[in-house]
Every structure is written in C-alpha cells, then in structure tokens.
Amino acid sequence: MTLLAVLFAFAGAYGIIAHTDPTEMDTVAYLRAAADIRETGGVLQHIPNCLNGVYRQATQHPVYLLILSLFAEKNLSFFIRAKFVTFFFSFVLFFSVIGVARRYFGKKTACAAGLLMALNATVIRLGTMVACETLLAICFLYFIFFTTRGFQNRRSWIAAGFFAGLTFMTKSLGILTIPVFLCSAVWGYRRQIGTLFKSRSFWAFFGIFILTASPLFLRNIKVYGTPLYSDSSAVLWVDNWHDYSSERADSGEIGLAAYLNQHSFQDMANIFWKGLSGRNVRMIADGLKPFAFWKKIDLNSLQGFHQKTISHEGLWAFLLMVFFAVGLWAYRKSAFTIPAVFSIMGFYVFVAWFSKIFEGSPPTRLLYCILILILIYTAAGFVFLGSRILGASLKSGADRIQKISFFGILTGIIFCCAVQFDYKNTDFGKTYRINPVFATQLSWAIQNVPAGKKIWVSESFMSYSFYFQQQIQGKAVSLPKVHSAEEYQALAADQQIEFAFID
C-alpha cells in the first residue's frame, strides 16, 4: 500500500504542475463563489445566508465551495491552495476505493484497484484541478457502501441517506442517488417488499437526505420558488449549450413544453441513442485513458475537457472494459453489485440525454462516479482471471508469484515516473500562468482604481477570472447581460459604475 501511495503522489505531482490556467473549465466559477462565501460570513454564516436569501449561487452546489472558502483570498495563491485541497480529496478517494474494494472483493483486488487509480489519467486530471468531482466521488462511494451494508443491517441506510445528501450538496447529479437507492432497496428486498416498506430505516434514508440538503432546498424555495432549482436544469431542454441563456429560461422559451413542441418523438429517440452509443462511449474511453508513464509525460494530456482518444488508448479502454465485464459477472451475487449496477445504469442513461449539449466534446467528469466503480470491478475481473489461470497451473506458488510480480511492476512504474521528473526546473510555488492581456489589465487596475469605486468586468471567459484574482480596492458590480453599448451606458449610469474592463 505504501508503494501505491508513493506512485499516486508522483502522478499527482504531475497533475498539480499541469493545471496552470486559472480559467480552466469551471475554476473561475468555483473560486469566485468560494470567495463570495468567505466575504459574506464564511462557513458559520452559510445556513443563515441560505435561509435569508443572501447566498444565491445556483449553478455550483455548496459543499465543495464551503471547503474552498476556508482558504479563499482574492489573489492567485487561492488558486494554488484550491488545487492542493482537491488533491487531498484525491488521496481520500484513493484510500477509500482501496478500503471498499478490500472489504467486498479482497486484498488483491484492493491493490489492483489502487494501481488502476494511480495509472488513470482522468483520476489524476480531475483530482489535481479546481473541480468538485473528486469530493463528489467520495460521497457517492460511501453512499454505495452504506446502501450495501443496509442489506445486512438496515440502520446503515441512515448513513446512506446522509452521504446521498452530501452527494447532492456537492453536485446536482447527486439527485440520482434517490432512484439508485430506491431501486437497490426494492431489488434487494424483492421477496420481502412488505418488510421493506414497513422499515423505519428505509424511510429514514429519505428523511436524512432531505435534512442534509435542507439548507439548499430552503434557499431555493425562498429565492427561486422551487426546491430543486438550478441554473443548469433548463439545459436539459436545449440541443446545444450556445442555445441556453438564463433570460430565455426565465421567460419560458426554454422548457419541457417548448422542447416537445419543437421535436418529434423520433428526433428525441435519435438524440438519446447518439448519447447511449456515441457520446457516452467516447467519455468512457476518455475516462479510462492511462497515465502514460512509459514515455515523456505530456502535461497537456492532464488538462481540460474531453480529448481525442488515439488507437492504443482505445485498445486499453476496451481491455479494461473486458475485465470490468468479467468482474461484474464474477461478483454478480455480491450485495455491493446491486447499487453499483443501478448507479451505472442511472448515470449512463441520464448523461446520455444531458450530454447532447456537448456534442463535439462531452466532458468525461459527467460519468466520473461510475468510472470509479468501473475501475473497482475491472480490478476484480483482473484478479479473478489471474487467480483462475495461475491457480490452475501453479497452485502452490500462485499467490507468491502474484505478489512478486505486483511489487516488481509497481517499483518499475515508480522508477519511470521518478526519472522523468524535472526537479530542478519545477517551481511548485508558481504553478499558474496568466494571460498577458489580463496581467496588463490587473496591473493597471491595482495602480489606478481608488478604494470604493464601482467596477464592472465583461462576462467573456478570460475577463471572468478577474473577480477572484483582483487585488484592487474597487467594488465589483454585476449587471444583466447587455446587447448594445447604449444598454450598457444606461445600466452603468444607474449603478454609478466608474470603471469597466472589457476584452
């Protein structure tokens, strides 16, 4: 286990220095929202802020933001700290996967699962950038764990409800824990349905889920009029991300009724099928890419969204899926497999529809929770086949051969990673880069904007980062989306804005 942890740390070091862009993916949104929480009272004031409507963030869910807010500052050191916070959660996920795999599949599978985690480019990529998916996967894995334990002791479903609530409070995809639990419980007690529905622990799951997520539910009701409000919920009813705007959603132009009027059943079936057979397959292939330790490590491969899968990576993903199928079949009677299968089915079906807005480059992170389950069952399948083959040919020495082989392979991989690492030219204190245009804007603003003056920053992608990187004395003001210079001038006069920054 120590060698596995060393390997994971090496891989994580590459990931930390790969993410140098403070505007990568949703980094800006996370850091800005976390800084806002810090400025409005921090963690201790969060629940009152939810109840009185001060907290209005409606895209990112709050758990990850609350943790980041403990380290929030309006300068680039916050960006670096946030990456290390996420990497800490990566280690928690790493050891959690090993622990769960050991409990339900044995020590050998636990070691193999840890190795697959350390050699997975997606685990390293999402685990070393500013993103909530690693924390989401931790909460989701423990939800699966306690749901499984509930088949032996239904009181464990109380803990499952808590982690399901945390999953939802981390990302809106966590709402899928409700149907996963319901289907798992009904399937597990299919011969005792009456006993299930009479169980207090079964209903306690839903009560604890609601209680855990209640700050967000109550905020949504007070501010937006519905408990499940999200800025991105209307995205379900557009075919392309560029077709979405909050103004169109609020006006009723975007919604289920409008979508049904504009699309035939065949249109929707085709979109859904493309998700099942196309987009999801590409995301899984991307999600199973190896961390290429055997060659000069390309840091670009650890950045950003979905990237094109080349032939040998596709073959690697195919082989892993073969082992996954073997593992799923070998442990088909395991209690852990019940919620695992319903989770994989639920995420796969939902994301097949949701991902239509990312037709060209669907983000792999949408399937990250089930990718972790796939890695666990892949490890189980590999160990199962290895034990059968070695057990048949070398019964007495099979276990020793497996241990020696695993130790040798792991040592070799660590050596390959270590010899490539450029210690002399790596400055962990400056793992970021700034767009030169933005650097000029920031420098000018620091020197010329007096304290208390109102400023407005355009919502283009690069300038958006200005909010959390600013070290100036001015007060940032938000404006609705403007479509003309005249419209901006009227709003600026009304809000008494004196400085505007536009790319």
pLDDT, residue 300, reads: 62
The mean pLDDT value for 436-457 works out to 78
Q: What is the pLDDT of residues 139-170, one digit of tens each?
A: 999 999 999 999 999 999 999 999 999 999 99
pLDDT, residue 392, reads: 54
Alpha helices in 293-435, H assignment, sequence order: 311-330, 337-354, 368-393, 398-420
Judge whether 456 and 501 are in contact, CB under 8 Å.
Answer: yes
pLDDT, residue 26, reads: 85
pLDDT, residue 270, reads: 93
pLDDT, residue 74, reads: 75
Closest CA to 122 of 396, 259, 320: 320
pLDDT, residue 394, reads: 46
Q: What is the pLDDT of residues 372-385, one digit of tens each?
A: 999 999 999 998 98
- Of 80-89, 295-304, 445-454, where does mean pLDDT reach its minimum? 295-304
Question: How far is the CA of 463 from the CAs of 198, 335, 384, 454, 489, in angstroms?
Answer: 56, 50, 52, 16, 19
- Chain-centre distance for alpha carbon 110: 23
What is the rounded distance in angstroms from the CA atom of residue 179 to the CA atom of residue 290? 32
The mean pLDDT value for 304-333 works out to 83
Q: Is 290 left (phi over 0), alpha (psi -120 to 50) or beta?
A: beta
Q: Is 61 left (phi over 0), alpha (psi -120 to 50) or beta?
A: beta
Q: Which of 321-325, 398-402, 448-452 holds the top average pLDDT?
A: 321-325
The mean pLDDT value for 252-281 works out to 87
Q: Say which residue the tokens 């040919």 belong to.
A: 393
Which tops the pLDDT comparison, 176 or 412? 176
Q: Is 263 left (phi over 0), alpha (psi -120 to 50) or beta?
A: beta
Per-residue pLDDT band at 351 (split at 50, 70, 90): very high
Q: Is 456 helix (H, G, I), strand (E, B) or coil?
A: strand
What is the rounded distance in angstroms from the CA atom of residue 346 to the CA atom of residue 350? 6
pLDDT, residue 399, reads: 57
Closest CA to 373 of 312, 333, 331: 331
What would the DSSP string read from start to end of 457-478? E--SHHHHTHHHH--SSSEE--
The mean pLDDT value for 353-381 works out to 90
pLDDT, residue 423, reads: 46
> Which pTM does this prediction carry?
0.87
- Chain-centre distance for alpha carbon 304: 13
pLDDT, residue 424, reads: 44
End-to-end C-alpha distance for the chain, whole angstroms = 50
CA-based radius of gyration for the chain: 24
Per-residue pLDDT band at 256 (split at 50, 70, 90): confident
Per-residue pLDDT band at 315 (split at 50, 70, 90): confident
pLDDT tops 70 at residue 32: yes
Which tops the pLDDT comparison, 108 or 304? 108
The mean pLDDT value for 409-431 works out to 54
Structure-block tokens of residue 296: 């000069």
pLDDT tops 90 at residue 475: no
Half-sphere exposure of 334 (CA within 13 A, CB side): 21
Structure-block tokens of residue 145: 């764990």
Q: Which residues pair with 455 in a beta bridge?
A: 476, 499
- Of 146-150, 199-203, 222-226, 237-241, where does mean pLDDT reach its minimum? 237-241
What is the rounded distance in angstroms from the CA atom of residue 283 to the CA atom of residue 276? 11
DSSP state of 499: E
Q: What percent of the chain has a predicted confidence (pLDDT) above 90?
A: 39
- What mean pLDDT is reported for the chain? 83
